[in-house]
Amino acid sequence: MRALAALKHTNIAYILDFGETLIDEKQVFYLAMEYIAGKNVIAWSGDLKNTKKLFALRLTAAVQIAQALQAAHETAYADELGFQRNGVLHGSIKPDNVIVTDTGEIKLLNFLIVEIHRLLGLRDLPARFLGLSPKAEAVTLTLDALKHLPPEQATDGLITVRTDIFCLGVLLCQLFFPGKNKPYVSIKDDQSLPRALKSLLVRMLSPAPEQRPSTMSEVVKSLGTVSKIREVEVMA
Domain ranges of the chain: 2-235
pTM assigned to the model: 0.81
What local confidence, expressed as pLDDT, does residue 64 receive? 96
CA atoms within 13 A on the CB side of 212: 26
Amino acid residing at 106? I
Task: Determine the pLDDT at residue 43.
Answer: 93
Query: What span, in angstroms and rounded, lies between the C-alpha atoms of 218 and 224?
Result: 10
Half-sphere exposure of 3 (CA within 13 A, CB side): 16
Residues 17-21 have a mean pLDDT of 87
pLDDT band (50, 70, 90) for residue 80 = confident
pLDDT at position 190, please? Answer: 75
For 2-235, which CATH superfamily applies? Transferase(Phosphotransferase) domain 1 (1.10.510.10)
* Whether the predicted pLDDT of 25 surpasses 80: yes
Percent of the chain with pLDDT over 90: 42
pLDDT attached to residue 123:
43
The pLDDT score that the predictor gives to residue 111 is 86
Other CB atoms within a 10 A radius of the CB of residue 15 amount to 19
| Confidence band of 232 (pLDDT split at 50, 70, 90) | very low
Give pLDDT tens digits for 108-133: 998 877 666 555 554 444 444 444 44
- Give SS3 for 33: strand
- pLDDT digit string (tens) for 146-175? 456 788 877 777 789 999 999 999 999 999
Note the pLDDT of residue 185: 62
pLDDT of residue 15: 87
Q: Is the pLDDT of residue 234 over 50?
A: no
Can you give the pLDDT at residue 215? 97
Q: Where are the beta strands (DSSP E) in the chain?
A: 15-23, 26-33, 38-40, 76-78, 84-86, 98-101, 106-108
